[in-house]
Amino acid sequence: MQKLWGTRNFNNLNIALDSLAANRLRSFLTALGIIFGVGAVIAMLAIGKGAKEEILNQMKLVGVNNIVIKPKQEGNKDGSEPSGAQSAEESDNKDKQPQDQGKKRFSRGLTLADAQNIRNTLSSVETISPEMLLDQDIIYRGKSGKLKMAGIEPAFFDINNIGLSSGSMFNPNHRESGEAVCIIGSGVKRRFFLTEDPVGKTIKCGAQWLKVVGVTEEKYISDATKSNLGIRDYNMDIYIPIRTMLIRYKNPAVANSMPQGYYISDEELARMSANAKTQHQLDQLVVKVKDGAPLGETAGVINRMLKRRHSDMIDFEMTIPEELLKQQQKTKDVFNIVLSAIAGISLLVGGIGIMNIMLASVLERTKEIGIRMALGAQKRDIVMQFLFEAVLISLCGGIIGIILGVMGAYLVDKLADIRTLISGISIFLSFVLASSVGLIFGISPARKAANQNPIECLRHT
């Protein structure tokens, strides 16, 4: 019985294949909706997965639970209030405090003293990473170039997930005494130390000779990520202890008069910060909040602290990268949902097209149906014949759509600089969707063909 069932369905499949082969152009046009629908599903899933992966990579770059504080460069160098420095609350109370009108307020900008105050005051802060940046001419054995030097604390490497490929991190003596040492990025190593190990060598950075104690691991950052997050290429930086930056580059006279191994206390650093003539001693201040601590509330407290320390002047800007990335993810999710809906509509239209063509095919082949029934074909055979035709059209369209979808995702990745990731699950899902569309929209025409009266079918001309 099982063999008989298999033989009958095999014959029905052959009849369906012969019918499709006899109408190749119509079958192809019928499958176009499925082709574009499946192709769009593959491409959209690839774009969505690539976007999610990119967001995760960006979060690894900026870290989790971080608050980034940067100085505002415009305004108040002469002690006057910068544009936008006055808060709404101050505007409301302007009339209540006439004695403050006309007075110039002065802020020294973002300094190490601010970092120390945040570190010592807030229990919700896990670690803090102040950063000073300086462009310097780099020279090593006839090779030269202008690179960015970053004065940092050890927390910088942890917050930015930067490891070392060779050498070691700064030891306590390096950090506390302001020694002339540095860690170079992997890009700096390729540029200046292509055929040799840089660890232990000395490189001239500006007017100082620095000993290389370590090399960072390669860290890939796309151009889009740099633009979105406002970060630089960490591979091309030279890192030095922040005390070394302050003593040897910001205050070189102190370095020249300082004995070997001299320890600079936090109080002395604070005085150097207070005596600094340049506004905004720090170029960036990253605050990492403890897990479970309210990120937004901590940012609000820090904002109020800095405003109070800066004479109520808003000469800094604060961002929370995680929230920006989450907003980007929401925007991309909405975009993907809209495009997926369009792809779903394409599949629906393709299914309706299959049903429409199959109904027309039933009317055209009424006499054929009558002859098959007269020769002993059962209703089930007629149903299977037309179901096979609908499913075959849908499957062929699905296969072509998968190929086009994969090619489209590849082209989007290469030409539009939008990362795409194609997974086996998306291909399998598209294949199942294509089969389901053919099966669902082929049932009605197949049942209509099987329920016709054989005698009336034979009379049909």
Quick count: other Cβ atoms within 10 Å of Cβ 174?
Answer: 22
245-261 b/e (C-beta count within 10 Å ≥ 16 → b) = bbbbbbbeebbeebeee
Give the contacts of 22 (CB within 8 A, at least 6 positions apart).
none
Residue 2 has a pLDDT of 44
Q: What is the pLDDT of residue 204?
A: 93
φ, ψ of residue 70 to 5 degrees: the values are -130, 150
What percent of the chain is modeled with pLDDT above 90?
13
Residues 273 and 112 sit within 8 Å (Cβ to Cβ): yes
Q: CA-CA distance, 274 to 147, in Å (whole number)? A: 28
- pLDDT averaged over every residue in the chain: 77
Residue 98 is predicted with a pLDDT of 44
Out of 103-107, 146-150, 386-390, 426-430, which region has the weakest mean confidence (pLDDT)?
A: 103-107
Smallest Cα–Cα separation from 231: which of 175, 297, 156, 178?
A: 156
List the end-to-end C-alpha distance of the chain, in Å, as a whole number.
Answer: 36
Contact 221, 231 (CB under 8 A): yes
396-453 per-position pLDDT tens digit: 888 898 899 899 888 888 887 777 888 888 888 887 888 888 888 888 887 887 787 7
The CA distance from 429 to 448, in Å, is: 30
- List the beta strands (DSSP E) in 195-303: 202-205, 208-216, 237-241, 284-289
pTM: 0.59
Say which residue, 263 or 251, is predicted with more confidence.
251
> CA-to-CA distance for 172 and 163, rounded, in angstroms?
18
Instruction: Name the DSSP class of 251.
Output: -
Residue 398 to residues 58, 349, 384, 407: CA-CA distances in angstroms?
35, 14, 20, 14
Query: What pLDDT, in 10s, does the model give residues 335-386?
Result: 777 777 777 787 788 888 888 888 887 777 777 777 877 777 787 878 888 8
Give 264's contacts (C-beta < 8 A, 6+ positions apart): 176, 177, 178, 243, 247
Tens digits of residue pLDDT in 46-73: 887 787 777 666 666 666 678 888 888 6
Residue 270: is its pLDDT beyond 60? Answer: no
> Where is average pLDDT lowest: 135-149, 187-201, 269-283?
269-283
Mean pLDDT computed over 265-294: 69
Q: Which of 112-121, 251-260, 379-388 comes out lowest in average pLDDT?
A: 251-260
What confidence tier does 241 reach under pLDDT thresholds 50, 70, 90? very high
The alpha carbon torsion through 18, 22, 26, 29 (nearest 10 deg) reads 60
Cβ–Cβ under 8 Å, residues 275 and 249: no
Other beta carbons less than 10 A from residue 376's beta carbon: 7
Which token pair is 263?
């320890």
